[in-house]
Amino acid sequence: MANCDGRVFHTQIASVMEALANAAVAEICKLVDDDYAVFRLEITQSQKENRALRRKLQLLELKVSRERVLASRPNSVKILDRYRGMARGHLAGGHRSFVKPAGPNAWRDDQPITVDEGNGTSTQHVILIESADAEAAGPGGSSLVKQERTEGEDPTHSRDIQTEAAAGVVPPVAVEDLTTMPQHRTRPSITEVSGTLNAVLKSETDTETHRLLHTGSDHGSDPERLLLGRPGCSPAPDSKYLLYGNTSLRTVHSHEDSGDALETGNDLSRSYTTAMDPGIMPLVLETQTDLSRGDWNQYSSSVYSEGCIDKKREVIAIDEVTVKMEGDSPLTCNADNTHLWERYSQSNTSDLDCRDRLETNLNVATHSPLHAVRDCDPVSPSMAPYDSHGSIFFDQVFNSDDGARDECRGGGAMSSNSKEKRFLCMFCNKGFSCLQKMEIHQRVHTGENPFSCTQCEKRFSRQDHLKRHQRVHTGEKPFSCPQCEKRFSQAGDLKRHQRVHTGEKPFSCTQCHMRFALAGNLKMHLKVHKGERPFTSMLCGKTFSERSYLRTHQQKTHPAV
DNA sequence: CTGGGGACGGGGCCC
DNA sequence: AGGGCCCCGTCCCCA
């Protein structure tokens, strides 16, 4: 009897469990169906939004096309830059450039510009950017004047930046660390960051924020710069964070600290300032930590623009400006401050040439695909209306890459195959097919070396270079010569080595008939013809064409020393 | 001086 | 899109 009752009980339990399970399954199915419906609805809505945005984009493209046809001269930023008549559009249409000479003396050499500020006439170095956007600024437009006093100023506080803005300009929307801001400053202002040798400024304009990032250059090597770059820290005492702005205005400023830079060496501050539609986009001052340790990427990935279409669907190529400056430091200054310079000097014909370029073409560049068609008019010293796109195009930084410069002259990334290369380097306008390639390339300009070797202190801009370098430590030599079983860590080294076996000497001297298997050897040989003997023994005055010769000589002749 | 190798920077291409 | 590789050029160093 008891067994019978137990079976019945179990049967009942089983049926209840089944019912519960069925109910649960039904519930789950219902939830899934509901979510699916919601999901589909969201997809449909997104598709609708996409279609609408696409239509909007097409309309704007049409508008741009019209402007390309109609736009003649008076539609854009005019920059009054009388410095040595430089940087007049060495990029394609790149005359929307802002040129700041690197050398403090160069500034001093500049002919002062006389600007009537209403209160009289001042003869100060002035960079004047005028906006007269008929749509946004209204009659009279507005102008933005940056001044650098040449007399009676504290070298470490050498900037006296004023604005001459039209009535109705929008005050700054947001500024971090307002305590650093002069409270009396009621005019709209541009956030300005100045620091030590290498100042980095980033601006983001395609979103709701406008960032200015200040950082050190070589990544932890300069404590002062690190201090400046540390989040939450106030700017250096010699820095001013100034904020002024203007609706529908995007400007870029550059200046350096003082004429004492050459003496102080490390105090080669420069700053770059951008402002764009501060009335719309809050200005947010940020700091940045050590870029070389990877912090950079969190900015670069998120801030770099992708084709850079802002909210108005205006194409703005550069939403971020990152400048690594090598100032007027002598070539003998420490490696932390010169490695970029050295890199440039390596890539150019001569140190002097490069240095000269650095001094005279210290520019920042932003480029918009639009400028290729809009910026066909030369820079005029007269004031001209500001264009409705609010774009300023900086000139090329350092002007160091001939190839890139040529590309810029020829339209750069806007040439025939430019459609695929829609990511433009903000420094040299070189086009890249994807964002990361551009970011990697820009390390050429920024000096960023995010990949560090665990075996030594060396740092690299690219992961593959780090990997290749680590063969130094591992001793790995994967490339072996089939003729002599010699092994090499790099394929190029093997290829070069094989000329030993083939006898190939592709490098021939134009002065004599000597031929060389290695380009470096030809280069060295050419010094014989030129009589170049730049290396002088401090002990005996003897000169040598190569440093190694001098070293060998000193080892032999002056072993004690 | 010349020959040659180690190592690195940068661009381009491929997967 | 991104990582990796190839290639080239260059600097530096040493025999």
Q: At what angle do helices A295-303 and A435-446 cross, to 10 degrees?
A: 130
* pLDDT recorded at residue A9: 61
Tokens of A120: 């009289």
Q: At what angle do helices A351-360 and A335-347 cross, to 10 degrees?
A: 110
Q: Is the pLDDT of residue A520 over 80?
A: yes
Asked if residues A86 and A110 have their Cβ atoms less than 8 Å apart, the reply is: no
pLDDT in tens, A406-440: 333 333 333 334 346 778 888 888 888 778 888 88
Of all nucleotides, the one whose C1′ comes closest to residue A343's CA is B9
Determine the average pLDDT of the residues in A514-521: 84
**In whole angstroms, what is the distance from residue A281 CA to residue A175 CA?**
11
Mean pLDDT of chain A: 49
* pLDDT recorded at residue A10: 65
Q: CA torsion A36→A39→A44→A50, rounded to 10°?
A: -150
Question: Percent of chain A beyond pLDDT 70?
Answer: 28
Strand B bases, protein C-beta under 7 A: 1-13
Q: Vertex A420, ends A415 and A422: CA angle to 5°?
A: 80
Asked if residues A386 and A133 have their Cβ atoms less than 8 Å apart, the reply is: yes
* pLDDT recorded at residue A5: 58
Region of A345 (left: φ > 0; alpha: ψ -120 to 50; beta: rest) is alpha
Band of pLDDT at residue A445, cut at 50, 70 and 90: confident
* pLDDT recorded at residue A481: 87
Strand C bases, protein C-beta under 7 A: 1-15
Of all nucleotides, the one whose C1′ comes closest to residue A344's CA is B9
Question: Percent of chain A beyond pLDDT 90?
Answer: 0
Q: Vertex A280, ends A278 and A281: CA angle to 5°?
A: 60
Band of pLDDT at residue A36, cut at 50, 70 and 90: low
Q: Which residue has the tokens 């930046």?
A: A161
3-state secondary structure A200-212: CCCCCCCCCCEEE
Q: Is the pLDDT of residue A558 over 60?
A: yes
Tokens of A81: 């830059």
Stronger pLDDT, A368 or A427, i.e. the higher one = A427
Q: Is the pLDDT of residue A459 over 70?
A: yes
* pLDDT recorded at residue A49: 75
Torsion over CA: A177, A393, A146, A229 (sign): positive
* pLDDT recorded at residue A388: 30
Residue nearest to nucleotide B1 (CA to C1'): A525
3-state secondary structure at position A195:
coil
Asked if residues A235 and A180 have their Cβ atoms less than 8 Å apart, the reply is: yes
Q: Is the pLDDT of residue A160 over 60?
A: no
- Is the C-beta of residue A526 closer than 7 Å to nucleic acid chain B? no
Determine the average pLDDT of the residues in A92-102: 31
**Which one of A220-224, A287-291, A292-296, A461-465 scores highest in mean pLDDT?**
A461-465
- Is the C-beta of residue A517 closer than 7 Å to nucleic acid chain B? yes
**Which one of A22-36, A150-164, A520-534 scores highest in mean pLDDT?**
A520-534
- Is the C-beta of residue A343 closer than 7 Å to nucleic acid chain B? yes
**In whole angstroms, what is the distance from residue A270 CA to residue A261 CA?**
10
**How far, in Å, is the CA of A339 from the C1' of nucleotide B6?**
20
Band of pLDDT at residue A26, cut at 50, 70 and 90: confident
* pLDDT recorded at residue A37: 64
**How far, in Å, is the CA of A555 from the C1' of nucleotide B12?**
44
Q: How far is CA A415 from CA A319, A410, A411, in A?
A: 21, 7, 5
**How far, in Å, is the CA of A548 from the C1' of nucleotide B2?**
13
Determine the average pLDDT of the residues in A124-139: 32
Q: Is the pLDDT of residue A297 over 70?
A: no
Asked if residues A113 and A166 have their Cβ atoms less than 8 Å apart, the reply is: no
**In whole angstroms, what is the distance from residue A131 CA to residue A133 CA?**
6
Q: Is the pLDDT of residue A519 over 80?
A: yes
Q: What is the CA radius of gyration of chain A?
A: 30
- Nearest residue to A297 via CA among A274, A320, A273, A318: A320
Q: Which residue has the tokens 């956007």?
A: A133
Determine the average pLDDT of the residues in A146-173: 33
* pLDDT recorded at residue A498: 87
Band of pLDDT at residue A197, cut at 50, 70 and 90: very low
pLDDT in tens, A163-189: 333 333 333 333 333 333 333 333 333
**How far, in Å, is the CA of A264 from the C1' of nucleotide C4?**
44
**How far, in Å, is the CA of A438 from the C1' of nucleotide C2?**
12
* pLDDT recorded at residue A282: 28
- What's the predicted TM-score (pTM) here? 0.37
Q: Is the pLDDT of residue A47 over 80?
A: no
Q: Is the pLDDT of residue A561 over 80?
A: no
Residue nearest to nucleotide C6 (CA to C1'): A491
- Is the C-beta of residue A516 closer than 7 Å to nucleic acid chain B? yes
End-to-end CA distance of chain A: 113
pLDDT in tens, A60-90: 766 666 565 444 433 333 222 323 333 333 3
Q: Is the pLDDT of residue A311 over 70?
A: no
